[in-house]
Amino acid sequence: MAKDGTAWAGCAPAVAVASPWTNNGKKGNAARIEARTVEEHQLSLSVTGMSCAACVASVERVLSGVEGVRSVSVNLPLEKAVVQLEHPPSDGQQDACIAAVKGAGFGASALLPALEVRRHNEQNVAAQRRQVALAFALALPVFLLSMALDDLGSAGPLDLRLTLAMLAALPVYLYSGAEFHRQAWVALRRGTANMDVLVHLGTTVAMVWSCLVTLSPVLGFLPAFVGEAEHVFFDGAAFIIAFVLLGNLLEANAKLKATDAVHGLMRLQPKEAWVVVDEGTVGTPVEEIARGTLLKVRAGETVPLDGEVENSTALLDESMMTGESFPVRKNEGDTVSAGTIVLDSTLYVRTTSLVGDTMLANVIRLVDEAQTGKAPIQRLVDRVASVFVPVVVLAALLAAAVWWAMAETLAPNSSMAPSEMAIMVLVSTLVIACPCALGLATPTALVVGTGRGARYGLLIKGIEALEQAHATSTVVLDKTGTITAGA
């Protein structure tokens, strides 16, 4: 981008590729060597159990403490950690990184194949749907008992309505909210605080207070202000858990859709190819095909590897690589790319790349690196999130104390006792301040943006470039026939 805000684009039609792999000559070779050197010193891990930016900061902190680690970047939507090492990774170093993450209370493993990760995420979304449905089904009776009905009589010394509401709310708190409570204790044991801590504190305060009020007639050791209270918050605790679970489900769906572009590109890569031998052709996995192998690609099939055409001609659909919607005629000596589709006749291709070195593989790698990267604004968010939860807890306690002391002045016409007002303010402040959006908003937007761009042929080399694009005032493109037609 020029200093005056002008962006220049002049490569293949309809494609703005900011990639060293598309260049030719010495500069492209040097960039390729540099990129491979970075990859050789890189370790990627799958990390599960993160819920907010505070979790990201915890994972980055423990990984940075592993010997030989130069830098760490953790992506919350993709649940992925990229570790840059001083030397090529060994099995022992990978095990040390995984152990460090697990020691911090998160799940970790070697990065799984993308399609396997996709299936796991789909199963996770399905499980979360069932969990949300159960939570709301259990929370609804709590709401009806707490709000819709006035008086059901008594069960001995206890109020029957409050007792039934307590019994209905406990399964929501103990079962549906179990993961929040577990993750909160894990976070507190390692000396950090995250979204789960706020949900745990908010719902626990509401449940403990409500249970004490309900059981006060049979508990003689409680302070007088508890026995005098009339309001309970069983419905609030139950629906807080249900709605946070719903939010987690929406986030999981967003994560799943965010990776659609990369998986769409991966589906363009055939698993097998027809290798020409003396006896005819043999179906062979593309991973086993060496450079210089002659392949046969029939009409309607996808070119499996980059190569050059030999003794044949055919029309190819190259829209996935160039954005050009019209078929392109390929003759002997012309180059073809993996992922393009042969349309009208059989094509013979002499391979010039391995499966991991094709233009398609480099595009997938480029999009993946862009999605894994961290924008400058996200680094600021991470720093804020590291102190956000403790500040919220202090603010909630201060607000509760003020309302308890000044309830009659602040709300003179309220029917609630000062203690009840204080509890309501405390729970509300803790819950509405959950920092899940703080850690998810920026990376999810960047993942979706880079993925959507890849779907339309716009490849982003780095997140920094995407963030700076908002300052672009003019885009200048060479005339290629893609955006203009005629003379």
Q: Please give the positions annotated as active site.
A: 478
294-297 and 347-351 strand pairing: antiparallel
474-477 and 6-9 strand pairing: parallel
Strand partners, 328: 316
Length of the chain as a residue count: 487
**Biggest CA pair distance of the chain:** 96
Rounded-to-integer distance, Cα 88 and Cα 71, Å: 14
How far lies 67's CA from each of 45, 223, 242, in Å?
A: 16, 54, 42
The one-letter amino acid at 425: V
Strand order in the sheet with 42-48: 69-75, 80-85, 42-48, 107-110
Residue 256 near residue 125 (C-beta atoms within 8 A):
yes
Tokens of 364: 């997938």
State which H helix or E strand residue 213 sits in: helix 195-215
DSSP string, 423-451: HHHHHHHHHHT-THHHHHHHHHHHHHHHH
154: left (phi over 0), alpha (psi -120 to 50) or beta: beta
CA-based Rg of the chain, rounded to a whole angstrom? 29
16-17 and 458-459 strand pairing: parallel
69-75 and 80-85 strand pairing: antiparallel
Number of C-beta neighbours around residue 26 at 10 A: 8
Quick one: which of 348, 359, 342, 375 has its CA closest to 442?
A: 375
Residue 442 near residue 374 (C-beta atoms within 8 A):
no
